[in-house]
Chains A and B, each alone.
Chain A
């Protein structure tokens, strides 16, 4: 099973973390919601897999490209 990271697609603030470590996520499930450009922007699972680690906390400011979580692909 290959491990991969999910990075912030844009700079902003982590507003709400929706998923938990160990969750089995489907492609496009919401992992967390960021606040940027006056919008609540969801961070989505790029593919089906399990959430391994969450590397940011609510309220954190993140840069574009910063690793937010790690996952393992289910296939």
Chain B
């Protein structure tokens, strides 16, 4: 493990072997240290789920909050202590399901908070139910029939809500993920990075890493202008593989 000692504490994560969240933890520690931030100036707020264990493994201030409620708690924290770097680390079940209404209104208010969603497309902590980002047709271990509900597309949703910084990263691509994390944290408003963080135990097995590495399409390579909202929508609509990079970035005054 290449954990950076400055931000990583001594607690051993309870995540399963092969969990993408190990990469997110390592990447976030490295990104923050690389930016010259200090643990005492960073506050991490999470909800409930496997991903929401993350603040417990870092030296910074941590708040393992209630299922779905990380964003309003982080908003209050940022209001009281605007000088802190406030980061929300949550899962897809947390943010796009039980806490989805908070997403809408946090984007509207545009606080200088960064949201990293560790998107594995499954409720892992409760052992493998379909989540809002599980693609239709997926056969979950906990269901007799494949998923029938439509899934939420996090990038499309955030563009539609009017979020000023919308990006996607792949957890196992450390350099690219760390760079995106730093850009998101430096963004002066509400920033969002959807991190594809596989759950090989409940969705896709270890093969999911190879599949993602092969299939991911880097936005940088496409000549896309992240300032162009219409182009972002178009790129997303035409994408045949998961995108990685900054999809949209609106410069704020």
Q: Do A and B bind each other?
A: no
